[in-house]
Homo-oligomer: A and B are copies of this chain.
Amino acid sequence: MNVDGEHFRSIWFDESDQSVRIIDQTRLPHFFEIIELSTFQETCHAIHSMQVRGAPLIGATAAFGIYLALQEGITELDDAARQLIATRPTAVNLQWAISRVMTAIGNASGDAAQDIALATAQSICEEDVSNCTAIGEHGVVLIRELAGNKQGPVNILTHCNAGWLATVDRGTALAPVYRAWEEGIELHVWVDETRPRNQGSSLTAWELVKQGIPHTVISDNTGGHLMQTQQVDICLVGSDRTTFRGNVCNKIGTYLKALAAHDNEVPFYVAVPLSSIDWDADNIPIEERDNEEITRIRGLNDQGELDSVRLTPEGSAALNIGFDITPGKLVSGLITEKGIVAATEEGIASLRETTK
């Protein structure tokens, strides 16, 4: 998407020096910095430290990680794969992308294996862009319909960041928003700040600033009140893993917004690329992250530097659960690249038939 007049993806391969480039998302929204991943360990670090995040993007990054491992001459690829998967346990895309690269490599070795890994990683990126574009096309229908039934902007609430920064380009939950905006539909986005890591106020808000889309950052506590007072027309969120039963694992707090949407009859849709569906299991490992993300917070100080301040008193424990699970019964529908389906076992199964 657009950053100050130039088109960027969130990850790309630089042919000139055979290395991978990413946007360091831990520096946003205050600094836009591109960094190079030239080793396998740098890739693991980038995923774990959330320089890259978002289910589709960490899948793509991990695919490049396998390529970089081969480039460095790492021969224990299974170990490397396990190490990559352990960086973030919840999103199923990580496993999906790695397994796809490993399968493509098969018994190849040397330069051939490297070429296959790189080509597969690049295919994953291209497919991600076309899948996100398709999600945008299916999802925009919902926004178009809402716009046709009201005066003034369509008010969309989103949680966390499921925009282009969470994918390779276009985004999942934000893809229909970008598509609607390009069509000239009047929009306004409520951006949950999304504690503890504030992906909403730092990433979603930044994306929307750069596209010029009207938006308002709110505390995570606010969405219920906005829905009670008819200030939200639709909720659109992403998903890190959606099970074959239609249960949606997404950033912690998503479930609370789904409850409020249900209580106030606000449509609640989840954008789900097929790569994030768990076709086999309904139990989802929920990532627990460093408690410092609760006890401290990072932002820009008055000297224009990134700085963190302590929020809690000495002596208080903290717990940092990364995700929660929204039961399919609270979800109006899943927006996939194949179309919109119900968040039920039947809905998901209908996608499987067209995929496998």
* Chain A residues at the B interface, C-beta cutoff of 8 Å: 28-30, 191, 193-196, 198, 201-202, 205-206, 208-209, 214-226, 228, 251-253, 255-257, 259-260, 263, 286, 294-302, 307-321, 323-325
Residue contacts A-B, CB under 8 angstroms, 11 given: A195-B220, A195-B221, A209-B313, A217-B318, A218-B294, A219-B294, A219-B320, A222-B252, A222-B321, A256-B256, A297-B311
Contact A205:B256 (CB < 8 A) given known A194-B221, A224-B324, A299-B311 = no
- CB contacts (< 8 Å) of A259 on chain B: these are 224, 256, 259-260, 263
Q: Are A316 and B195 in contact (CB under 8 A)?
A: no
Q: Are A215 and B299 in contact (CB under 8 A)?
A: no
Q: Are A300 and B310 in contact (CB under 8 A)?
A: yes
Of A202, A294, A301, A312, the most chain B CB neighbours within 10 A belong to A312
A64 vs chain B, min Cβ distance (A): 28
Complex CA–CA separation, A321 to B215 (angstroms): 16
Per DSSP, are chain A's interface residues mostly helix, strand or loop, or mixed? Answer: mixed
- CB contacts (< 8 Å) of A217 on chain B: these are 294-295, 312, 316-319
A197 vs chain B, min Cβ distance (A): 9
- CB contacts (< 8 Å) of A310 on chain B: these are 30, 299-301
Q: Are B315 and A209 in contact (CB under 8 A)?
A: yes
Q: Which of B202, B218, B323 contacts A313 (CB 8 A)?
A: B202
- CB contacts (< 8 Å) of A196 on chain B: these are 219
Of A193, A196, A214, the most chain B CB neighbours within 10 A belong to A193
A302 vs chain B, min Cβ distance (A): 8
- CB contacts (< 8 Å) of A253 on chain B: these are 219-222, 224
A30 vs chain B, min Cβ distance (A): 7
Q: Which of B194, B216, B256 contacts A319 (CB 8 A)?
A: B216
Q: Are A297 and B294 in contact (CB under 8 A)?
A: no
Beyond contacts A201-B312, A222-B321, A297-B311: 10 other A-B pairs, Cβ-Cβ < 8 A, are: A29-B312, A202-B313, A214-B317, A216-B316, A221-B256, A224-B253, A224-B256, A225-B255, A256-B260, A301-B310
Q: Are A228 and B193 in contact (CB under 8 A)?
A: no
A187 vs chain B, min Cβ distance (A): 14
Q: Are A294 and B193 in contact (CB under 8 A)?
A: yes
Q: Are A191 and B316 in contact (CB under 8 A)?
A: yes
Of A221, A310, A319, the most chain B CB neighbours within 10 A belong to A221
Q: Which of B209, B221, B263 contacts A220 (CB 8 A)?
A: B221
Q: Are B220 and A220 in contact (CB under 8 A)?
A: yes
Complex CA–CA separation, A310 to B215 (angstroms): 17
- CB contacts (< 8 Å) of A29 on chain B: these are 312-313, 316
Q: Are A309 and B319 in contact (CB under 8 A)?
A: no
Complex CA–CA separation, A127 to B283 (angstroms): 52
- CB contacts (< 8 Å) of A198 on chain B: these are 311
- CB contacts (< 8 Å) of A252 on chain B: these are 219, 221-222, 225
Complex CA–CA separation, A308 to B298 (angstroms): 10
- CB contacts (< 8 Å) of A314 on chain B: these are 209
- CB contacts (< 8 Å) of A224 on chain B: these are 253, 255-256, 259, 324
- CB contacts (< 8 Å) of A195 on chain B: these are 193, 195, 219-221
Complex CA–CA separation, A225 to B252 (angstroms): 8
- CB contacts (< 8 Å) of A260 on chain B: these are 255-256, 259
Complex CA–CA separation, A196 to B255 (angstroms): 20
